[in-house]
Structure 1
Amino acid sequence: MKTFVLFMIMVSSFCNLGFSQDSFTIQNKHKSDKIKFQLVNNLIIIPVEINGVTLSFLLDTGVSKPIIFNFLNVSDTLKIKNTESFFLRGLGEGESIEALKSSNNLLKIGDAIKLNQELYAIYEANLNLAPKLGFPVHGIIGNDIFKDLVVEINYVKKYLKLTEPEAYRYKKCRTCEIFNLEFHSGKPYINADVTIKDKQVPVKLLIDSGGSDVLWLFENDSLGITSGTKFFNDFLGHGLSGSIYGKRSKIEALHLKSFVLKNANVAYPDSTSVLYAKMVKDRNGSLAGNVLKRFNWIFDYKNALVTLKKNTYFKEPFSYNKSGIELAHYGFRFVKEVDDRILKEKAGILKNDDAINSIRVVTDEHYKISLKPAYIIVELRKNSPAERAGLLIDDVIISINNKPSYQFSLQQITHEFYEEVGKRIRLKVDRDGKVLTFSFNLENPY
């Protein structure tokens, strides 16, 4: 998928909290287990069971401790207890936010179990990932899994393989590259190179599976890490402490030893948004989901190693949103649509027992009222084709290119904005109860 929904988290408060002595163990004779995941906007969503309740969590190598979005009213169901308040600070220009720390939680991922897990519950509504992904996400988990187990990520087949380190056996791989990892506050860093203006520059990058972008770089004139004059300003994503804005551009190449990704997208976040991230010595940026998905990975924290092997996503071209629109899921709205079941009844096709058991609201003999997903514009790039056409933030999308928006997922609609330059986009929107129609052509943003 090409949607760039970002959720970067750097929780500096975790640095001094320490880790529980308890560890994940695999409860089977093989000491290994596979877990299927959903790949949504380059992000890995896994099932996590907490105190007997199964939830959906983002797998984020850039977070130290599990976080639950507690405004989703899951705390009572999870029987969260033994809480105390903490204030957490992360990416974005906002203030620190309050979280409740909870201990003695039972956490299970497949056959991997941890008996005494710490959790952090956050009530900040802006951290709800579900509207931005169009997919339910209840929390984030990262270092607690990776530090205890060898974690294989197969982006193509969409599974994790978790293995206890003592049971893991490496296979020979001539097409793989192996990197040493550095760790800061439980987060993994990798050394790579970028080519900017014909100059190859060594960079130290956070491996951030919780971000769906491509590459973030912190501008540094002395190192030659600059956006130059060919860039555009854009919304980059939501961090723990607020929205993040910056510049988007291209670099000539990203080098991961023998693997070279040419003409890769890059974002240069505003320095005020990443002030805390830049406190890590010699850090130059982040490597995010749209790069990570192009490889299958083996994370071996115990030996401070990571192994990469390119996969079928490797040659997928890098693209930008050419409309300027960022969408989010906006709950549900009532729509009037043709009721095929009624038409079949009139034709004598529908079985009697099906007709008896069906419940619907009928407006006339051929139509019904149904609840369907709605999508709203939450960000609009300045001077973009969509803005110039007259679209506004908070416009609710009714149709795209004459097709009802509810027939699409959030990712499918956004995919339309990454199509070829010149493609005509026609949008019908609901603006404060008025239905308006707009059209524009997709353009290169710089």
Structure 2
Amino acid sequence: MNKYLCFIVLLFCVNNIGFSQSEFIVQNKKQSDKVNFKLLNNLIVIPVEINGVILSFILDTGVSKPIIFNFLNVSDTLKIKNTETIYLRGLGEGESVKALKSTSNIFKVGDAIKLNQELYAVYDFNLNFAPRLGTPVHGIIGYDLFKDLIVEINYSNSYLKLTNPNKYRYKNCRKCEVINLEFYNNKPYIDAEVKIHNKKIPIKLLIDSGGSDSLWLFEDDSLGIISENKSFDDFLGHGLSGSVFGKRSRIDAFYLKSFELINANVAYPDSSSISVARNFKDRNGSLAGNILKRFNMIFDYQKAIVTLKKNEHFKEKFSYNRSGIELAHEGVRLVKEIDNAILLGKDEGPQNSQTTNSSRIVIDTQYKLSLKPAYAIVELREGSPAERAGLRIHDIILSINNKPSYNFTLQQLTQKFYGDVGTRIKLKVERNGHVVTFSFDLEKPF
């Protein structure tokens, strides 16, 4: 009898191990864990441990399997095995990219662990999002984490809460909206409405937390989804298969059930950049980070619902880059800085009743060389204030309004270009070894 009981217990343990190998499970007493994230350019960047190595990943609801970039730099460290060569196709006008499909990888996000995770390791060294975000980013992760756990995204306080579904308890929330999810190729879609030319249009959108824009719409004359006359051509971002270009504009309003956002930003990507995205014929576009961050969200893939509650970002005004400049981190520069050494000493004069010892301060001005981040112009909108002033792609920004650029993060520096119309911007740049100064005023892009 004892042997039979031991066999049952052993069988139960083996089944549990097998179950944990194929799913993410939070392995602690609470069966729930908080994971802090960085919000960079409306993108969520989280720590992900792969085969014992901690990396930084974008949390992307629009990706079905984890993808690692800069494969040639990390392959040896991660000890990737069980591989086969495949080709991936994504947004952009370029060709498919070569990748390795790997199995049996150990993934850990906080206390959530999966022992048998597939991943795709991309060969192309040019697929690197780190310069645009100003911080190392090694890959993207999405569906596998969301399908196994209840995932709360608290944009207000920059943390995820991961909970095993059987332990999650919903709280009453009168100010929340619960919206049904629909899945296609393991990606979540949501029904919404837009108002264009004072006409409400029902739309189906991919929820894309891996996009930094507000809203992408695919132009469709039959539905009335067409770009406004007040629009401008622009670079929209990088996809797996190259750069994406299109038009930017505004819509009258955007609706998620009772939630309404007025004068929301919208982008209309060129049809040549979104051929893969149009495989799902019912899809009308994407809902991305600049709108998603305005809610705290609870994703429950197993029940096919998402719960939304407005947060402190909800009333932020929608704005555009009014300079026409897109920046990226371009390595480091050697900067000569003043290093003032303050020396304290005694000035000892004659000792008598009228004189006493006095202190003296000597400032010894010296210089030191320091490595500081360098920021370069990587995109320049045609006809923009910056282009008309004479700035060019590859210019290195040395200072903005007489303040050294290295005193700012990439996000802080970029935010300067979203200022009020008429704000004067003075840039000192390095171009081919020469220092040149340019000035321009921020303008409405349309």
**Fold match (TM-score > 0.5):** yes
Tell me the alpha carbon deviations over residues 302-347 of structure 1, each in whole angstroms, 9 at most, x when there is no partner. 010000000000000000000000000000011111114xx23x34
- Kept after mapping to 2: 8 A contact 1:211/1:289: yes
Tell me the alpha carbon deviations over residues 271-330 of structure 1, each in whole angstroms, 9 at most, x when there is no partner. 010011011121000000000000000000001000000000000000000000000000
Contiguous gaps of at least 5 residues in structure 1? 1-19, 349-363
CA distance in 1, matches of 2:411, 2:70: 25
CA distance in 2, matches of 1:51, 1:126: 24
Question: Cα distance, 1:424 vs. partner?
Answer: 0.4
The answer for the alignment partner of 2:56 in structure 1 is: 56
The answer for the alignment partner of 1:399 in structure 2 is: 399
Contiguous gaps of at least 5 residues in structure 2? 1-19, 346-363
Question: Cα distance, 1:70 vs. partner?
Answer: 3.0
CA distance in 1, matches of 2:401, 2:235: 25
Kindly provide the amino acid, as one letter, of the partner of residue 234 in structure 2.
Answer: D
Matched, 1:125 2:125: yes
The answer for the alignment partner of 2:289 in structure 1 is: 289
CA distance in 2, matches of 1:433, 1:377: 15
Kindly provide the amino acid, as one letter, of the partner of residue 43 in structure 1.
Answer: L
Cα RMSD (Å): 1.2
CA distance in 2, matches of 1:72, 1:316: 41
The answer for the alignment partner of 2:415 in structure 1 is: 415
Map 1:25-424 onto structure 2 (within 5 A). 25-71=25-71, 73-340=73-340, 343-344=341-342, 346-347=343-344, 365-424=365-424
Tell me the alpha carbon deviations over residues 114-135 of structure 1, each in whole angstroms, 9 at most, x when there is no partner. 0001111112223211100001
CA distance in 2, matches of 1:51, 1:70: 17
CA distance in 2, matches of 1:38, 1:205: 25
CA distance in 2, matches of 1:71, 1:105: 15
Kindly provide the amino acid, as one letter, of the partner of residue 282 in structure 1.
Answer: D
Aligned partner of residue 368 in structure 2, secondary structure: strand
Aligned partner of residue 125 in structure 1, secondary structure: coil
The answer for the alignment partner of 1:16 in structure 2 is: none
Tell me the alpha carbon deviations over residues 393-429 of structure 1, each in whole angstroms, 9 at most, x when there is no partner. 0001111100111111101110000000000000011
Kindly provide the amino acid, as one letter, of the partner of residue 403 in structure 1.
Answer: K
Question: Cα distance, 1:186 vs. partner?
Answer: 0.7
Kindly provide the amino acid, as one letter, of the partner of residue 412 in structure 1.
Answer: Q
Kindly provide the amino acid, as one letter, of the partner of residue 207 in structure 1.
Answer: I
The answer for the alignment partner of 1:443 in structure 2 is: 443
Tell me the alpha carbon deviations over residues 232-262 of structure 1, each in whole angstroms, 9 at most, x when there is no partner. 0000000000000000000010000100000
- Kept after mapping to 1: 8 A contact 2:327/2:379: yes
CA distance in 2, matches of 1:127, 1:400: 29
Kindly provide the amino acid, as one letter, of the partner of residue 29 in structure 2.
Answer: K
- Kept after mapping to 2: 8 A contact 1:26/1:112: yes
CA distance in 2, matches of 1:239, 1:131: 15
Aligned partner of residue 107 in structure 2, secondary structure: strand
Moved more, 71-80 or 375-384: 71-80
**Which structure carries more relative contact order (alpha carbon 8 Å, separation 6+)?**
1
- Kept after mapping to 1: 8 A contact 2:70/2:127: no
Question: Cα distance, 1:21 vs. partner?
Answer: 7.3
Kindly provide the amino acid, as one letter, of the partner of residue 123 in structure 2.
Answer: Y
- Kept after mapping to 2: 8 A contact 1:323/1:417: yes
Matched, 1:430 2:430: yes
The answer for the alignment partner of 2:350 in structure 1 is: none
Aligned partner of residue 131 in structure 1, secondary structure: helix
- Kept after mapping to 2: 8 A contact 1:31/1:167: yes
Aligned partner of residue 74 in structure 1, secondary structure: helix
CA distance in 2, matches of 1:132, 1:397: 15
Aligned partner of residue 95 in structure 1, secondary structure: coil
Question: Cα distance, 1:83 vs. partner?
Answer: 1.2
Aligned partner of residue 73 in structure 1, secondary structure: helix
Kindly provide the amino acid, as one letter, of the partner of residue 268 in structure 1.
Answer: Y
Aligned partner of residue 22 in structure 2, secondary structure: coil
CA distance in 2, matches of 1:371, 1:339: 14
Kindly provide the amino acid, as one letter, of the partner of residue 167 in structure 2.
Answer: A
The percent identity for this pair of structures is 71
Kindly provide the amino acid, as one letter, of the partner of residue 338 in structure 2.
Answer: V
- Kept after mapping to 1: 8 A contact 2:61/2:187: yes
Aligned partner of residue 412 in structure 1, secondary structure: helix
Q: TM-score, with normalisation over the residues of structure 1? A: 0.90
CA distance in 2, matches of 1:185, 1:152: 22
- Kept after mapping to 1: 8 A contact 2:21/2:114: no
- Kept after mapping to 1: 8 A contact 2:398/2:405: yes
CA distance in 1, matches of 2:397, 2:256: 40
Question: Cα distance, 1:46 vs. partner?
Answer: 0.6
- Kept after mapping to 1: 8 A contact 2:295/2:311: yes
Tell me the alpha carbon deviations over residues 42-87 of structure 1, each in whole angstroms, 9 at most, x when there is no partner. 1111111111111111000000100111346111111111111110
- Kept after mapping to 1: 8 A contact 2:21/2:115: no
CA distance in 1, matches of 2:250, 2:427: 29
- Kept after mapping to 2: 8 A contact 1:72/1:138: no
Question: Cα distance, 1:387 vs. partner?
Answer: 0.2
Kindly provide the amino acid, as one letter, of the partner of residue 129 in structure 1.
Answer: F
CA distance in 1, matches of 2:103, 2:22: 12
CA distance in 2, matches of 1:259, 1:82: 47
- Kept after mapping to 1: 8 A contact 2:93/2:272: yes
Kindly provide the amino acid, as one letter, of the partner of residue 332 in structure 1.
Answer: V
Aligned partner of residue 245 in structure 1, secondary structure: strand
Structure 1 stretches of 4+ moved >3 Å: none
Structure with bigger gyration radius: 2
